[in-house]
Amino acid sequence: MMYFFIFIFILILIIIILYTILLYKFPGLFLQKDNIRYDKTDLVGSYNFLDTDEVRDVKEKIIKITSASCQSEISRNSVMSTIGIPLYVDGANKHLYNIRKDRYNQLLEQNFGWIYQKLLKKLEYITDKRCKYVDELSLPGFHVFKAGSWLGSGWSVASLHVDKQFDYIQGYNNLDKTDVFSFTVGITLPKKSGLYIYNCTENDINVGYWPFYTYFKNKPRYKVYYEVGKLYFHDGLHYHMISEFDSKNTDRITLQGHGIWNKDKNEYIIYW
């Protein structure tokens, strides 16, 4: 009998641990669906960026550089791959980041150089400030969320977060971490592809909330549906997460990047 109670205790403990992990890692699974708002929100701007022919060109290049012979797509987990080196994933290991960053910057520049020039002009139009790429950081790259994964099958298995990858930036003494932005360009978008975003930042959350997700449980969240070729722009400091999508065969591919204000140069540094 004692062994039975020990077994039950261990089983309950395991369930509690797994539940807690899920709460923190995939809070979208526990958030109500009846508080989603589909009306337009000022938290996210939408701009025309790539036309149909340009999108087709990007898709063809992506197919080419992710072929078996090139092996230029990096698998991050069962849900996501990247073409490029995002600082939020690779920034913790500075040595490895620098090696990979140089290789992929060259690859991306060779295949998508025209996009990067066009992107700077668009971001300068949106911000009305000068924008610049720097050798020390990775170029904006591509997220590839896999079809047929849990996320691609309608499960909201994504992290609720703010974009603070700028904490990994080194070598700059006068960056303004309050003057930042994030952007996404739709390349291949299965049904329901988009973004959830909340009208709250880290400053709004009472530290007494535990688990973390309970703060958002009854908060309205906005669903922004993405369209192919459009650029979506937000400050990155409001809590957000990728939405689930519906696709068994088509990957969800977007161009991603960030900007941060460099006070010394009076310009935005554009990176991923």
| Average pLDDT for 9-34 | 68
Residues 6+ apart with CB under 8 A from 115: 50, 54, 58, 255
Classify residue 86 as left (phi > 0), alpha (psi -120 to 50) or beta: beta
Per DSSP, what are the bridge partners of residue 225? 194
Q: Is 57 inside a domain boundary? A: yes
Domain count, the chain: 1
Q: How confident is the model at residue 80 (pLDDT cuts 50, 70, 90)?
A: confident
Q: Is 71 inside a domain boundary? A: yes
Nearest-angstrom CA–CA distance, 140 and 185: 10
Tokens 């790539």: give the residue: 50
Question: Does 70 score more than 70 pLDDT?
Answer: no
- Summary mean pLDDT of the chain: 87
Q: Name which of 127, 115, 254, 120 is nearest 195 in CA terms.
A: 254
**Greatest mean pLDDT among 5-14, 44-53, 67-76:** 44-53
Q: Is 238 inside a domain boundary? A: yes
Q: How confident is the model at residue 32 (pLDDT cuts 50, 70, 90)?
A: low
Q: Which amino acid is residue 148, in one-letter code?
A: G
On whether the CB atoms of residues 255 and 184 are closer than 8 A, the answer is: yes
Q: Is 23 inside a domain boundary? A: no
Compare 132 and 221 and report the one with higher pLDDT: 132
> Cis link prior to 220 (omega < 30° from 0)?
no
Q: How confident is the model at residue 65 (pLDDT cuts 50, 70, 90)?
A: confident
Question: Does 38 score more than 70 pLDDT?
Answer: yes
Q: pLDDT at position 73, please?
A: 76
Q: Is 15 inside a domain boundary? A: no
Question: Does 182 score more than 80 pLDDT?
Answer: yes
Compare 121 and 245 and report the one with higher pLDDT: 121
| Token reading at 267 | 């310009």
Q: Domain range spanning residue 80?
A: 31-271
Q: In whole angstroms, how far apart are CA 58 and each of 53, 136, 174, 208?
A: 9, 25, 35, 46
Q: Is 151 inside a domain boundary? A: yes
Q: Is 7 inside a domain boundary? A: no
* Length of the chain (residues): 272
What per-residue string of b and e applies to 230-254 under the rule 16 or more CB within 10 Å gives b? bbbbbbbbbbbbbbbbebeebbbbb
On whether the CB atoms of residues 176 and 267 are closer than 8 A, the answer is: no
Q: pLDDT at position 136, please?
A: 93
Compare 151 and 261 and report the one with higher pLDDT: 261
Q: Is 11 inside a domain boundary? A: no
Compare 19 and 173 and report the one with higher pLDDT: 173
Question: Does 208 score more than 70 pLDDT?
Answer: no
If you compute the radius of gyration of the chain from its CA atoms, what whole number of angstroms results? 20
Compare 61 and 35 and report the one with higher pLDDT: 61
The reported pTM is 0.87
Nearest-angstrom CA–CA distance, 84 and 196: 24
Q: pLDDT at position 131, please?
A: 98
Q: How confident is the model at residue 214 (pLDDT cuts 50, 70, 90)?
A: confident
Percent of the chain at pLDDT > 90 equals 53
Q: What is the CATH number of the domain that holds 231?
A: 2.60.120.620
